[in-house]
Amino acid sequence: MGGAEEFLAAAVRTGTPLALAALGETVVERAGVINIGLEGIVLAGAFGGLLAAGSGLVAGFAGAVVAGVVVAALFALFTVSMRADQIITGVAVNLLVVGLTGALYRGIYGATGAALTIPTTGTLPIPLLSRIPLVGPALFDQAPPTYVAYCVAPLLAWWLYRTRSGLALRAVGERPDAARAAGVAPASVRWIAILLGGVLGGVGGGMLVLSQAGTFAEGMSAGRGFIAIAIVALGRWHPLGVLAAALLFGAASALQFLFQAMGWALPYQLFLALPYVLTLLALAGLAGRRAVAPAALGQP
Amino acid sequence: MSWLRRVATVALVSLLALAALWLALRLAGLDATRALIALWDGSFGSGYALTSSTLVRATPLILTGLAVAIAFRAGVWNIGAEGQLLAGAATAAAVGLFATPAFGALTVVVALAVGALAGALWAWIAAYLRNRFGVLEVISTIMLNFVALYAVGYLVRGPLQEPTHIYPQSEPLPALAQLPRLVEGSRLHWGFVVAVVAAPVVWWVLRYTAAGFRVRAVGQNPSAARVAGKIDVQRTTMGVFLVSGALAGLAGAIELTGVTFALYENVSPGYGYTAIAVALLAGLDPLGVLATGLLFGALEAGALSMQREAAVPAVVVNVVEALLVLLILAVARWRGGSAMLARLAGSGSGASGDDSTRAGGEGAIGRGKAPGAPPASGTHAEAAG
């Protein structure tokens, strides 16, 4: 692989866990809920993946999903059933997961746990497609969950914009009272949306362990959940836009590899900060034109 | 809710959280009783533990807790105290390292002032993005936290690195740039006094001044504040961001000149995030922050001794802190609670003011329609409420 191919592959690899988490959050936010606890969901997914990986990779991803859903359910219990503030609950959920995973990790694997490695999924090249020059290996020679992200984005777009239940979900995010008058139960819809966000966020977190790192580290989500929330805004709350935004963000993160390959001697912290700066600039540039956020976002 | 009732609630919730911790440790097969004793010994158990651990830890938590409390009171969801704290710490380090000859004995004061200014500037970015482009501050402040973290990472490997260029940290500050000890022979420094004084000052400003009234009005209902109160919501929001950032920046500058004396990447163990829990537990009351800041300082100090004495990982304290917040939300929900706690929990009492407050913070996304125009999101809340 040449430098450009490697760059594109790194962009997709970095972007996919973000894409999965952000796609879940898109549904959540379309239902009028902002789940800051996504960071905790991703971290829980990573830890759940590690715990279950002993029984195989499929079990690992199942563990990741269960962990993500449990955390999401806690968030939904407080924000939907008890109508507590979403931001505050999300912050508390993040604290809880950081503490729980850290303590359990040390408790189960010892104080260091450094030597712990598990087998990873490796890549699954798609026949023919992976042979397309330049973009083939980047897009179609990736870990299996990557293809899940490719499929989930158009499926979600179809669901949200072409089905009655998708319309109901978006109605809950725009005008919960109008939706209720039309026979939709906003609380049930939000519960389902948040749990779905837990599934996808959990898979995204599981990917970090099961497809990429092959090990777990305390706090290894490293802000990916927060970034995913920014990506939802960047993708303007549309699944396809969100997928594109996630890959764009992955590309911005992968720039460091490209510049390293080109022998630029810039401090690497500048490249690490670059995606966050770009996100801020993109949000500022995009938001000026048209209001696209769900109108009832953040209201209990 | 009266003072007494709020204190009772927090005490009850703390006991519940500690009981849960004890039970969890028992179930995990650890010596739970010994762990809790270690928690006490490391926090309040001795004069040294109190002054050198608990109060030292509480100082940045009180200041950042105040930063969060004042922001949330105005419906400004500043999750960025961590980044603002780092901005303050980095600039205080720069002042101490390079400007000590110029300022002499005044260096500490200058370092604190410049640190506060840097925190305010860092918060200004998020404020500008919100007012000018309608960027949700929840997102922008979190992004800025990461930028600040990497900026510090760059500084301690670049311009501020110690002369041998081996370790990713700065040189220790010269003595003139260090905060003097408050109690000789302990680690307690004058920064604690700053924090203790700051709390009643913020409380007084919020309660008795015109500016404080504007902050509370905007927080309770931005549309009403604008229409009926003729309050410039954007200007008030900007002011709150700057004060909030300055408090967090001051916390960072104090931590650097009073505790660590050198800049490195992990200079803050997440004070800016813990601050959110500190502020919430206090019901966003500045005087309450003084108490909850001490409580969390004690928890974190005790957690370290718990790790030493009973082999219980110190991160467990995060679970306790999270449980405290969730329990207080639940208690406020079930008992009605104070107006502020009820507002936080989103429970019924005073529901009309309730929803528009949240919209003031959250509606930031929807404000993209007309850049520079005052927020229109209050209408959503009225429709939804």
Question: Going from the N-terminus, what domains does chain B have, and what CATH number goes with each?
Answer: 3-384 (1.10.3470)
- Read off the pTM: 0.85
Q: What is the pLDDT of residues B126-184, one digit of tens each?
A: 999 999 888 888 889 988 999 999 999 999 988 888 888 888 899 999 999 999 998 88
Q: What is the pLDDT of residues A238-264, one digit of tens each?
A: 999 999 999 988 988 888 777 766 766
Most B CBs within 10 Å: which of A71, A104, A283, as the mutation test of the B interface? A283
CA distances from A143 to A96, A133, A150, A197, B248 (A): 30, 19, 12, 21, 42
CA distances from B53 to A60, A258, B57, B288 (A): 41, 46, 6, 20
Chain A residue closest in CA terms to B376: A295
pLDDT confidence of B66, banded at 50, 70, 90?
A: very high
Could you give the ipTM of this predicted complex?
Answer: 0.83
Beta-carbon separation of A284 and B135 below 8 A? yes
What is the average per-residue pLDDT within B57-81? 94
In DSSP terms, A142 is beta-bridged to A124
The pLDDT tens digits along chain A (300 residues) read 567 778 888 889 889 999 999 999 999 999 999 999 999 999 999 999 999 888 888 899 999 999 999 999 999 999 999 888 888 889 889 989 988 998 888 878 776 655 577 777 777 777 777 777 777 777 777 888 888 889 999 999 999 999 999 999 999 988 888 888 888 899 999 999 999 999 999 999 999 998 888 888 888 888 889 889 989 988 889 999 999 999 988 988 888 777 766 766 667 778 788 888 888 888 887 654 445 678 778 777
Buried b (16+ CB within 10 A) or exposed e, B253-276: bbbbbbbbbbbbbebbeebbbbbb
CA B188/CA B180 separation, integer angstroms: 9
- Whether chain B has a CB inside 8 Å of the CB on A257: the answer is no
What is the average per-residue pLDDT within B297-308? 90
Most A CBs within 10 Å: which of B21, B131, B146, B331, as the mutation test of the A interface? B146
Question: Going from the N-terminus, what domains does chain A have, and what CATH number goes with each?
Answer: 3-287 (1.10.3470)
Assess whether pLDDT exceeds 70 at residue B313: yes
CB A252 within 8 A of CB A278: yes
Q: Single out the residue of B62, B266, B57 nearest to residue B156, CA to CA.
A: B266
CA A212/CA A218 separation, integer angstroms: 16
Assess whether pLDDT exceeds 60 at residue B267: yes
Beta-carbon separation of B276 and A88 below 8 A? yes
CA B136/CA B334 separation, integer angstroms: 31
Q: How far is B91 from chain A (nearest CA, A)?
A: 18
Beta-carbon separation of A78 and B329 below 8 A? yes
Buried b (16+ CB within 10 A) or exposed e, B208-244: eeeebbbbebbbbbbbebbeeeebebbebbbbbbbbb
pLDDT confidence of B344, banded at 50, 70, 90?
A: low
